[in-house]
Amino acid sequence: MASSKLNRRKFIKTASLSTIGAGMLSAGTLATDNKDTVNAPPSIKEYRKFGKTGFMVSDFSSGAPMNEAVLRALLERGVNLIDTGETYGNGNSERIIGRVLQDFDRSKIFINSKLYTEKEFPSKKEVLERSYRAMERLQTDYIDCIQIHSAENSAILKDEAFHSAMEQLKKESRVKHVGVSCHGNNWAYDTEESLDTILMSAIEDGRFDVILLAYNFANADIAEKVLEECDKKSIATMIMKSNPVHIFNIFESRMSRLEEEGKEADAFLQAYYDKYRLMDEQAKAFFARYGISSDSELKTAASKYVLSNPLAHTTLWDFQNFEEVDNLLGLSGQKLTGRDEVVLRGFQEHLGHTACRIGCNDCEAACPHHMPVNKILRYNYYFSVKRQEKRAMTKYAGLKLQKPLTVCIDCEGYCEQACKYGVWTRPLLAAAKYNLEMI
Ligand code: SF4
Ligand code: SF4
């Protein structure tokens, strides 16, 4: 633990965006990134102690895989953790893993699967049956960790049916560890808890060995206190949503497409047209100022921000193709450079109002219609960044909004006033509506 703390202090000293003085680094004094000069295909360069699981885990890991060949390439290149769950592709992600696992040493791969429930698990019997079915799909005798999928309040962390089933599965040597994942909450229908309060309860509970959370440079103030607490209790950490940036997708594609097609924006988009244009100008100025030609450099810097934190043990990615395998694994073992710091700080200063912080729900208490702002904007992130259109739209359709989003047009914007990060929620919600309702 001593070395972990030392590394942590070093990370805070060198990487915290909030503590980098404005005059310390500027766009004109950017350091040059190291170039990978190795000709071999990129592979994992760093493994980290994974809490008290006894596992050394690769710094990059596979989010729920949906492509067998891509998963094989990842395992061949040293990735040794695969995240999945029964809901991904109706179990197909687990089936893909099951087929691939037959050709690898099972004992060297950590499988994390998840069980979801909206409120509570109906019975221990049902949890057991669902767990055994997951093992059948995975073609394995045991799962390294089973997690409660996307816990939305701390009450679910105490679910008796889940925990008694896990106790039995551990005794049968069918499950080694128990965990929980969390994106935050939904204050429209639930207790007013956010990602940090829910996960602090999980840490306090003592039964969770592995925690999966949304963490990136934009929500660092929310997520890093959870990581620090996990470190004190030797809890393994898995990170999702490392890249919160979707500036190009929102503004370029949305407004340009409408203009090219000669179409009018709908009333909701039209109401915020001036703000979109302003955001677009700010984005272009930001990219020009920092000499960035695409959002891939931002994505790289965002990845390295998380990789540089030793308390973030492994980072999940939805590798879609071999190009992404090469690009992302090429970053394994890398740390934040001076240029990365400048770029990310610049993003926070100039475009921070475009990024709703995953895991924060603060403004939802201010909304008279209890709009689940964070969830809507997260689903739009799935749509526009992860390109998971169908999944995003299905999730949005299941939200049971009290009022249609169009109420925001005439609203005074209580959510914007309540957001301590200054996020321009209304134009972002309008963009989300455009995507998720397929106007
Ligand atoms: S808009 Fe601001 S206050 Fe609301 S959920 Fe996003 S980050 Fe939190
Ligand atoms: S703009 Fe008004 S109605 Fe819409 S989410 Fe914000 S506070 Fe709620």
Residue 34 has pLDDT above 70, yes or no: no
More confident call, 35 vs 272: 272
Q: In this structure, which residue's CA is closest to atom 5 in ligand 2?
A: 371
Interhelix angle 373-384/389-397, rounded to 10 degrees, is 160
Q: Averaged over 335-344, what is the pLDDT?
A: 93
Ligand 2 pocket: which of 377, 380, 408 to mutate (most atoms within 8 A of CB): 408
- Contact partners, residue 56, CB within 8 Å, separation at least 6: 47, 48, 49, 50
pTM greater than 0.85 (yes/no) = yes
Reduce the DSSP state of residue 113 to 3 states and report it: strand
Dist. CA 436–CA 389, nearest whole Å? 8
What was the pLDDT predicted at 302? 94
Best probe residue, ligand 2, of 426, 428, 433 (max atoms within 8 Å of C-beta): 426
Q: How far is the CA of 439 from the centre of ligand 1 (A)?
A: 24
Q: What is the pLDDT of residue 81?
A: 98
Per-residue pLDDT band for 418 (boundaries 50, 70, 90) equals very high
- Residues 14 and 25: their CA atoms lie apart, in Å, by 12
* Position 109 confidence tier, pLDDT thresholds 50, 70, 90: very high
pLDDT band at residue 38 under the 50/70/90 scheme: low
| Shortest-distance Cα residue to atom 8 of ligand 1 | 360
Q: Say what the pLDDT of residue 19 is.
A: 38
Every domain of the chain with CATH number 3.20.20.100 lies at 39-244+297-334
Atom of ligand 1 nearest to the CA of 418: 3
Residues with a CB atom less than 6 Å from ligand 1: 356-357, 360-363, 373-374, 415, 419, 421, 423, 425
Tokens of 403: 């009022």
Phi, psi of 140 (to 5 degrees): -140, 155
CA dihedral in degrees (363, 349, 245, 265; nearest 10)?
70
pLDDT value of position 14: 46
Mean of the pLDDT values across residues 124-134? 98
- Number of residues that this document lists for the chain: 439
For the stretch 241-271, pLDDT in tens is 998 876 655 555 666 777 777 777 778 877 8
> Which tokens sit at 62?
């596979």
CA 273–ligand 2 middle distance (angstroms): 17
Nearest to 269 by CA among 152, 120, 431: 431
* Residue owning the nearest CA to atom 8 of ligand 2: 367
Atom of ligand 2 nearest to the CA of 371: 5
pLDDT confidence of residue 29: 32
Ligand 1 centroid distance, CA of 185 (Å):
12
* 150 secondary structure, DSSP code: T
Residue 368: the pLDDT is: 92
Q: What is the pLDDT of residues 146-193, one digit of tens each?
A: 999 999 889 999 999 999 999 999 999 999 999 999 987 776 666 778
pLDDT tens sequence across 42-97: 999 999 999 999 999 999 999 999 999 999 999 999 999 999 999 999 999 999 99
Residues forming a β-bridge with 81:
110
CA angle 19-327-43, nearest 5°? 100
pLDDT of amino acid 5: 45
Nearest-atom index, ligand 1, CA of 415:
4
Give the ligand with the smallest distance to the CA of 415.
2
Query: Cα(226)–Cα(198) distance, rounded to whole angstroms?
Result: 10
Cβ–Cβ < 8 Å for 341, 30 = no
- DSSP letter for each residue of 165-194: HHHHHHHTTSEEEEEEEE----TTTS-S--
What integer pLDDT is reported at residue 65 of this predicted model? 95
What percent of the chain is modeled with pLDDT above 90?
Answer: 62
Q: Which ligand is nearest to the CA of 419?
A: 1
With a 6 Å cutoff on the Cβ, whether 373 touches ligand 2 is yes
Q: Determine the distance separating the centroid of ligand 1 and the alpha carbon of 419, expressed in angstroms.
A: 5
Helices (H), 23-114: 68-76, 92-101
The lowest-confidence range among 22-36, 133-147, 344-358 is 22-36
Q: pLDDT tens across 192-219, in order?
A: 788 999 999 999 999 999 999 999 999 9
Where residue 133 falls among pLDDT bands split at 50, 70, 90? very high
pLDDT at 306 over 80: yes
Q: Is 271 in the pocket of ligand 2 (CB under 6 A)?
A: no
Check residue 195 and give its pLDDT.
92
Alpha-carbon gap, residue 331 to 229, rounded angstroms: 27
Is 407 touching ligand 2 by the criterion CB < 6 Å? yes
237 forms beta bridges with 211
Least confident of 192-196, 229-233, 246-250, 347-351: 246-250
Nearest to 296 by CA among 219, 214, 385: 385
pLDDT of 32: 37
User: If you average pLDDT over residues 326-339, what whole number do you get?
Assistant: 95
Mean per-residue pLDDT of the chain: 87
Mean pLDDT in residue range 14-23: 40
Ligand at minimal distance from the CA of 356 is: 1
Q: Domain 39-244+297-334: which topology?
A: TIM Barrel (3.20.20)
- Residue 241: left (phi > 0), alpha (psi -120 to 50), or beta? left
Least Cα distance to 63 among 319, 395, 389 occurs for 319
pLDDT band at 280 (very low <50, low <70, confident <90, very high): confident
414 lines ligand 2 (CB under 6 A): yes
Of the ranges 60-69, 133-142, 320-329, 391-400, which one carries the lowest mean pLDDT score?
A: 391-400
SS3 content of the chain, % helix, strand, coil (to 5): 50, 10, 40
368 CA → ligand 1 middle, Å = 15
- Average pLDDT for residues 321-342, to the nearest whole number? 95
374 Cα to the center of ligand 2, angstroms:
12
More confidently predicted of 16 and 368? 368
Tell me the one-letter amino acid at 97. I
Whether 12 has a pLDDT exceeding 70, the answer reads no
The amino acid at residue 179 is G
